[in-house]
Structure 1
Amino acid sequence: MEALPELRVLVLKSNKFDGNMSLASRSNLPFPKLQVLDISENEFVGSLPQKYFKNFRATKENQTDGDIDYFSNYVEMRITLKGLDQLLKRLLEDFTIIDLSSNKFSGTIPHSIGNMNSLRYLNFSHNNLMGHIPASLGNISVLESLDLSSNKLDGGIPSELTRLTFLAKLNLSMNDLVGQIPQSNQFSTFENDSYVGNLRLCGVPLTRKCNEENGQRMQPEEQDDENDEYGFIDGFGWRSVVMGYGSGLVVGIGIGCCIIRFGRPRWLVEFFFGVGYTYNKNKKKKKTRKRATPTQRRS
């Protein structure tokens, strides 16, 4: 298929295809006019097909205006854009989509992907990618959706990504990213779900604050784990709860003894012992007097 001269849309998603797409190509110019590559939800392995990323930037140069207009009127396909299934009825000249999500790709994200000036939607989620997020992604000025979630990416979020002023959806969750989240342009609009699962990220919109000197979290991770396991809301830990229960138990036993001994308050005694219960506190005195009376008569 790499040698098909007019192929512009290749959608193979939701199958059981496997194999390595990074092997040597038989074509000097693979996929000369490809604009949409969707092979998501398969079982492809190996590194990302960098040879295709280098070639995609030549797509615009190899197309003529007549071919583009004719093809745009007849294209119709359903693809996943910004996390939602959408029906695409027109393919513009500067419109490129790459979706390699839910496979078994490994290795790093190549820096050459930043040369794809027409890339609008990029999805590498749910793979085994490692290494840093390439700063060259900030060069794709028309990028609207970037999904790198559920991988093993580490390092910080490049500040160059704040140059993506058209970016409407960002998902970097479930990785090993560290440091402070950039705060400018589009990044100020993204919510917490764009970053969840990165335990060493800090800054807005997350609740974890950063150290002003190095941008790292102010509290160590072990302390956060301990607070999550033993702590309660608003600072009440298990020690405070135990002390409260212990004090309440002692006070309760003391009140119970007083009720049994003195029979007060009456409403509480009747509640526990039943209505009609009477407590005669003079029984002991009467018994003492009865025993003493015969003694007085003898004398």
Structure 2
Amino acid sequence: MPKLIYLGLYRNKLIGQIPSSICNLRSLQVLQLSNNHLEGPIPKCVGNLSTSLNVLHLNANKLSGLIPSTFRKNCSIESINLNGNKLKGTLPQTIANCQGLRGIDIGGNEIRGAFPFWMETLPQLRTFILSSNKFNGTMLVTSNTEQPFPKLQVLDVSQNAFVGPLPDRYFKNFRGMINATENQIDEEAAYWFLIFMELKLTLKGLDQLLGRLLTTFTTIDLSSNRFSGSIPPSLGDLNSLRYLNLSHNTLIGHIPPSLGDMRLLESLDLSSNKLDGEIPNELARLTFIGKLNLSMNNLEGKIPQSTQLSTFGNESYVGNVGLCGFPLTRKCAGSDGKPFIPKGGEEDDDDEYGFIDGFGWRNVVLGYGCGFVVGIGIGYMVIRSGRPRWLVEFFFGVGYKYKTKKRRNRAAPTRRGT
């Protein structure tokens, strides 16, 4: 069938290998064999179809071996999805010949090597997913590219072994994540996003399959790596970013207040790092946020109060012993707004009942007991002696001493007569 343009056999139960005879389809524009049980290598000749092929989706199979490196200079491929296979080796640099590439997803494989900096020159790339592979090294490098990844909207490099600081240079140039409503994409790109791009991403803590990708969708996921250093304030410039996940790294320093400028942010996950300091009040400006996770850090001080932040439970802040205020049970006290942190031992139990500064329940009970005994003794002596007169008359009425004396005088003759 040499004139076949579209071949879609996805979501079936096909087994075996992809036959090399498929490369005889010289007019083929769309090849979708995803969600089957295909195995074995991808035919090398698939790269020869790159001059006619627009969509190459082989994801969710059991394919192994290497990614073909035969993509030609006049490559016309716009979408490559190889997610969820058993592919190994490195990402071939010949993919850079596909200057019209809009999205590539090779997540869930065993691809290794350094970050593919050579892809930052692709002018149309909007979706870039390398998650759950074996990439390593740093994402910082000296480059002559003035605007790397100029239209990128989705960057997911989670669950790899990247090290070093976060890629501040990229954050400053992700034009596709800044004023996205003002930079609407063309109709052709919108059609590609809605029809051909199928993504599996971790959103709001859950793995989700996106059958259709909205044109305004933006996300950065750098979680589960070995990134270190502080969070660059330049992240706040991405005012159209909707999902940000930097969890499970070794990031240090304070949470930059500039994150409050990302007014469209729906999910923020900074958990399992080494962040310290207070939660900036600027985060209260995130009125669209539906998922917040700051747990397992070294944060301290009072949690900012706002209509939106007040909806999150204790799980969003657990593991920060210095935090206080609603929704936590630990109250804030003192002019600095920081909590009283117990030092351990029996004093912890005292603090749980609201007694501080060394006055525990045992001391209070002992004080009450001693006071009761002393009070009974003093009371008996006052009543017996009738002194001081003003106190006796206050409690027992005016003339108490006179009446008592009179009763004594009456009793005296009786005793003598007896």
Q: 1:183 aligns with which of 281, 301, 305?
A: 305
Report which of the two has the higher share of helix.
Answer: 1
Structure 1 residue 48 and structure 2 residue 166: aligned? yes
Equivalent in the alignment of 2:272: 150
Amino acid aligned to 1:80: T
In 2, the alpha carbon distance for the partners of 1:227 and 1:122 equals 42
User: Number of aligned pairs?
Assistant: 234
Q: 1:116 aligns with which of 229, 238, 262?
A: 238
Q: Secondary structure at the match of 1:185?
A: coil
In 2, the alpha carbon distance for the partners of 1:105 and 1:67 equals 37
Equivalent in the alignment of 1:226: 345
Question: Do 1:57 and 1:117's aligned partners in 2 also have CA atoms closer than 8 Å?
Answer: no
Equivalent in the alignment of 1:14: 132
For residues 138-180 of structure 1, give each alpha carbon's deviation from its aligned partner in whole angstroms, at most 9, with x where no partner exists: 1111100000001111110011101111100000001110100
In 2, the alpha carbon distance for the partners of 1:160 and 1:151 equals 20
Instruction: Tell me how far 1:65 sits from its aligned partner.
Output: 2.1
Q: Secondary structure at the match of 1:55?
A: coil
What TM-score, normalized to structure 2?
Answer: 0.53
Q: 1:66 aligns with which of 163, 167, 187?
A: 187
Instruction: Tell me how far 1:57 sits from its aligned partner.
Output: 3.0
Aligned counterparts, 1:31-180, within 5 A: 31-58=149-176, 60=180, 64-73=185-194, 74-180=196-302
1:123 and 1:227, CA in 2 relative to 1: closer, same or farther beyond 3 A?
farther
Instruction: Tell me how far 1:89 sits from its aligned partner.
Output: 2.6
Instruction: Tell me how far 1:226 sits from its aligned partner.
Output: 2.4
| Structure 2: stretches of 5+ with no match in the other structure | 1-118, 355-360, 363-418
In 1, the alpha carbon distance for the partners of 2:230 and 2:184 equals 31
Q: Secondary structure at the match of 1:72?
A: helix
RMSD: 2.3
Higher RCO (CA-CA < 8 Å; seq separation 6+): 1
1:228 and 1:7, CA in 2 relative to 1: closer, same or farther beyond 3 A?
farther
Q: Secondary structure at the match of 2:265?
A: coil
Runs of 4+ off more than 6 Å: 228-235
For residues 73-107 of structure 1, give each alpha carbon's deviation from its aligned partner in whole angstroms, at most 9, with x where no partner exists: 22111100000011113333332100000100011
Q: Secondary structure at the match of 2:172?
A: helix
Amino acid aligned to 1:200: G
What TM-score, normalized to structure 1?
Answer: 0.73
Equivalent in the alignment of 1:202: 324
Instruction: Tell me how far 1:227 sits from its aligned partner.
Output: 4.7
Identity value in percent:
61
In 2, the alpha carbon distance for the partners of 1:142 and 1:22 equals 27
In 1, the alpha carbon distance for the partners of 2:235 and 2:327 equals 28
Equivalent in the alignment of 1:259: none
Q: Secondary structure at the match of 2:134?
A: coil
